[in-house]
Amino acid sequence: MHPAFSVIFLTTLIGAAQGLFLAMVAVQFHVGVNGFAAPEAVGFYAVGSVISLALLGAGLLASFFHLGHPERAWRAAAQWRTSWLSREVIVLPAFMGMVFLYGVAHWQGMPTLLPALAGVVLAFALFVCTGMIYACLRFLREWHSPLTVLNYTLLGSASGFTLATAFATFSAPHAVRFLGGWAVALTAAAFIGRLASLIRNARLKPKSTLQTAIGIKHPKIVQKTQGFMGGAFNTREFFHGKPVATLRAIKWFFLVASFFVPLLLLGFGGDGAAIFLILAFVIQYAGLLAERWFFFAQANHPQNLYYQSIA
């Protein structure tokens, strides 16, 4: 597939925002529901909610660049019975609303248990929706796996907890160790999950072949022409057009930048050295951009069988 930057930014930004929200709720339950004293609570939870909302808003904005008719985007909520994309379109604003309520509740000193729990449910629902958009496409076999949903959840959570750890050095220093531990655990878990999907995808054998594509049972079939000499949607949307070496380089980059470097920096910054933790998040986020690019580029669409030769 041709990786679209709109979708890469959408999924990575909202993933980090969901993770950050989950991290805030985790801290809240860790220190008790009434947790910190008011000024600190406002600093951590309310400003944290603003950061989470900003990331969600940026992701939502990025998603509009994916649409040919963004002014009709509201229609996308219609088919929630059948379409995971439609479900995501509903859950994303619902989650944003809950993050907003959560932030306001902390800021105003109101009860926060309800928005916290509802927000957690919505955060996980959003991970499932985002992952299932890709996992439900059965003939894109690199995506058609429970690992896709698991990895969207783990990668988003890991980056969100890393961000929360860095943010906590300014707003809630005594939560840094707790959050840092979770960030390390989630980053390690995300590494295992992503490694599992890389191994799975490397062993995939294509189900569709040129033989099933045109229905001729002969071992040797060569396309002589795809029917046109210029470009078409079919030749643009479904091919990444990069050499194998580039793909391999991006794979190694994201493995190092999303997992190894953040794990090292989280280790160094465990006692609250902000610079290490900020760097950990920035590098991890850059790694996740590359991870998402690779996620799309690696998916091999069966329609490509029909577009192998110009003339």
For position 32 contacting another protein by CB under 8 A, the verdict is no
Closer to another protein at the Cβ: 108 or 303? Answer: 303
By CB under 8 A, name the one of 36, 44, 84, 152 that touches another protein.
Answer: 84
By CB under 8 A, name the one of 66, 240, 242, 251 that touches another protein.
Answer: 66
Q: Hey, CA dihedral for 27, 48, 176, 260, is it positive or negative?
A: positive
Shortest distance, position 4 Cβ to another protein, whole Å? 8
**Which residue, 104, 99, 105, 103, is CA-closest to 120?**
99
d(C-alpha 129, C-alpha 84), whole Å: 6
Residues 42-61 that bind another protein (CB under 8 A): none
Closer to another protein at the Cβ: 34 or 209? Answer: 209
Contact, 111 vs 75, CB < 8 A?
A: no
Closer to another protein at the Cβ: 170 or 307? Answer: 307
Tell me the C-alpha to C-alpha distance, in Å, between residue 257 and each of 112, 116, 245, 297.
Answer: 35, 31, 18, 18
Contact, 23 vs 161, CB < 8 A?
A: yes
Q: Which two tokens stand for residue 60?
A: 């939502």
Closer to another protein at the Cβ: 226 or 253? Answer: 226
Shortest distance, position 132 Cβ to another protein, whole Å? 11
Shortest distance, position 225 Cβ to another protein, whole Å? 5
Q: Provide CB contacts within 8 A for 61, sequence distance 6+.
A: none
Shortest distance, position 231 Cβ to another protein, whole Å? 4
Residue with token string 């059965």: 138
Contact, 194 vs 233, CB < 8 A?
A: no
By CB under 8 A, name the one of 32, 37, 138, 203 that touches another protein.
Answer: 138
- Residues touching another protein: how many (CB under 8 A)? 57
By CB under 8 A, name the one of 60, 85, 117, 273 that touches another protein.
Answer: 85
- Intra-chain end-to-end CA distance of the chain, in Å: 22
Shortest distance, position 305 Cβ to another protein, whole Å? 9
For position 310 contacting another protein by CB under 8 A, the verdict is no
Tell me the C-alpha to C-alpha distance, in Å, between residue 81 and each of 118, 142, 188, 255.
Answer: 21, 25, 35, 36
Closer to another protein at the Cβ: 62 or 140? Answer: 140
Residues 214-273 that bind another protein (CB under 8 A): 214-216, 218, 220-234, 237-238
Contact, 226 vs 306, CB < 8 A?
A: yes
Shortest distance, position 188 Cβ to another protein, whole Å? 32
Q: What does the binding site for another protein look like in residue numbers (CB under 8 A)?
A: 1, 66-70, 72-73, 75-79, 82-86, 89, 133, 136-140, 207-208, 210, 212-216, 218, 220-234, 237-238, 301-304, 306-307
